[in-house]
Structure 1
């Protein structure tokens, strides 16, 4: 699979072309000041990446639990989540 690299300006000017390329299986890396910052990828690639990340996280969680690692109750988890949300809103 070939990979294209374009500047942000080029990506804006030819967005539909890069989307068409993604539909054909070719990702486009977008650079800003010569540094890769984003990519337009086929949806199948994104879904595969998300699935792989989920598998890795599940394996890490299983390893922590197998080692007798820390666990939390659902109430503790919810309390932490809501306190983080409240902090971000304030």
Structure 2
């Protein structure tokens, strides 16, 4: 069954593009059956029903029904492997 990952940032443009590429490469390199959807943080609540994981570049304004990870390490370059592992653990 294909998993769905929401990659969200404040505006849905700049930082989420960086994170989106990283997550897409991660799932491809690890042969995980998953789709990555880039969106604005404001859209996450309405999209969570059809998703398995949220990866956000910004502080989440609320709690969601699905797991959510903050992807700051993909922006700063610190702790990226640990975040890779967390994402993969949620998708397997």
Q: What is the TM-score normalised by the length of structure 1?
A: 0.28
User: Which has the greater radius of gyration?
Assistant: 1
Q: Which has the higher contact order (CA 8 A, sep 6+)?
A: 2
Which is richer in helix? 1
Q: What is the TM-score normalised by the length of structure 2?
A: 0.27
